[in-house]
Amino acid sequence: MHLHALAAPSSLHVEHGAAPRRAARHAELLRLGRYLLETRYHFTAVTPDTHERVLARSTESSGSARDVLGWNRPFQPAAIPQRLFELMLSAEACEQRPDGAWRATLRCSSIDELLFFHSAFPTRERDAVFFGPDSYRFVRALLHTVERAERVVDLGCGTGAGGIVLARSREIRGHLLLTDINPRALELAAVNAELNGVEAHVQHSDVLSQVEGDVDLVIANPPYLEDGEGRLYRDGGADLGCALSVRIALEVGQRLAAHGGRLVMYSGAPVVEGEDQLLRSLMPVLRETHARFAYAELDPDIFGSELARPAYSGVERIAAVLLDAQFDSRS
């Protein structure tokens, strides 16, 4: 895909202010990100299974920025560019391990020429901010589906990749709102938006409950797995992880039906004995909200390793799917 450059630098609006330390870290992460842009850093994020296999070959870093901030290998400060280490220290983006080696506390991955900060590997913390192949599929699905939009909400934005790429490559004539229930995600989304030259508002919200005013387009890439550890980026709740996606479709549909609008949602669908369980759960909601919709399977088999978990003992595959629902005004 090709992403056009904006005509002028954009400003970033962070609602409700920010504590001095958080504002300082925001500025330092921007400096680190701009250094990476200047040095043509590029890294493609892979699945956790692939990442683990690559690290199993060798945990020793060559000293490249990709090894440190992409593969998240331990490193010695003398082995990497001095400027990179200084910027990572200032941004609180690295820490020394008990064995004396250092390790980045976050990662940076690419979508074409854009860069996105996200959590370090492995993402075990409950508030980890994930970026991986789902991020790429979500972005490409948006670019194949959305041509232009007015007021856009990236719901459960995580790194902000969906809304940021959409804003860089499509005409958004209103403004972009990045929302999440995870404060850590909002902090990184704010940095990522400014780093990539996108004007965005960042706001805590559970679905659309704290979003005021009219909304024309909601985009969403919600968590869609049953996760016993309750990690925010993975746990889609009950019904094999379908519950949150169904809730989003219902609440967004009820909100948008007031004046009309659109939901484009990328999610995962567990398939049991040939039946898509997410679509089965979505159908009553889509009928209730009088939606006109298209539903497509984008990838028939993702996160196959999940099938080894007891919760998925009856699931034959998990598919990546896209719901494009239009809600017409009933007022």
Structure tokens at 159: 């790194």
Cα distances from 275 to residues 38, 309, 320, 321, in angstroms, run: 48, 20, 14, 13
Q: From 213, 295, 286, 211, select the one nearest 254 (Cα to Cα).
A: 286
What type of residue sits at position 11? S
CB 151 within 8 A of CB 174: yes
Residue 207 shares a structural domain with residue 102: no
Residue 145 shares a structural domain with residue 285: yes
Residue 32 shares a structural domain with residue 177: no
Rounded to whole angstroms, the Cα distance separating 276 from 271 reads 5
**Confidence category of residue 96, pLDDT binned at 50, 70, 90:** very high
Residue 173 has pLDDT above 80, yes or no: no
Q: From 8, 5, 17, select the one nearest 202 (Cα to Cα).
A: 17
DSSP characters for 150-198?
SSEEEET-TTSHHHHHHHHHSEESS-EEEEES-HHHHHHHHHHHHHTT-
Q: From 326, 328, 319, select the one nearest 280 (Cα to Cα).
A: 319
| Average pLDDT score over residue span 117-143 | 97
Domain range holding 265? Answer: 133-327
Say what angle helices 243-256 and 277-288 make with each other, to 10 degrees: 20
How many structural domains compose the chain?
2
Q: Report strand pairing: 200-204 vs 13-14.
A: parallel
Half-sphere CA count of 318, side-chain side, radius 13 A: 21
Residue 262 shares a structural domain with residue 238: yes
| Average pLDDT score over residue span 177-183 | 97
Residue 85 shares a structural domain with residue 142: no
CATH code where residue 323 lies: 3.40.50.150
| Average pLDDT score over residue span 124-153 | 96
Residue 138 shares a structural domain with residue 61: no
Rounded to whole angstroms, the Cα distance separating 270 from 277 reads 6
Q: Report strand pairing: 152-155 vs 217-220.
A: parallel
CB 246 within 8 A of CB 285: yes
Domain membership of residue 13 (yes or no) is: no
What percent of the chain has a predicted confidence (pLDDT) above 70?
94
User: Among 57-61, 69-73, 178-182, which stretch is predicted with the lowest mean pLDDT?
Assistant: 57-61
Q: Give me the phi and psi of 256, to 5 degrees please.
A: -75, -25
Say what angle helices 20-38 and 82-90 make with each other, to 10 degrees: 160
- For residue range 289-309, what is the model confidence (pLDDT) as tens digits? 999 999 999 999 999 999 999
Rounded to whole angstroms, the Cα distance separating 74 from 16 reads 37
3-class secondary-structure state, position 268? strand
Q: Is the pTM of this model over 0.85?
A: yes
Domain membership of residue 309 (yes or no) is: yes
3-class secondary-structure state, position 96? strand
Q: Give me the phi and psi of 5, to 5 degrees please.
A: -80, 145
Mean pLDDT of the chain: 92
**Confidence category of residue 220, pLDDT binned at 50, 70, 90:** very high
Domain membership of residue 93 (yes or no) is: yes
Cα distances from 190 to residues 92, 110, 155, 166, 257, in angstroms, run: 16, 16, 14, 15, 30
Residue 99 shares a structural domain with residue 245: no
Rounded to whole angstroms, the Cα distance separating 326 from 256 reads 9
Residue 115 shares a structural domain with residue 169: no
CB 37 within 8 A of CB 194: no
Residue 10 has pLDDT above 70, yes or no: no
Residue 154 shares a structural domain with residue 238: yes
For residue 122, is the peptide bond before it cis, meaning its omega torsion is within 30 degrees of 0?
yes
Domain membership of residue 8 (yes or no) is: no
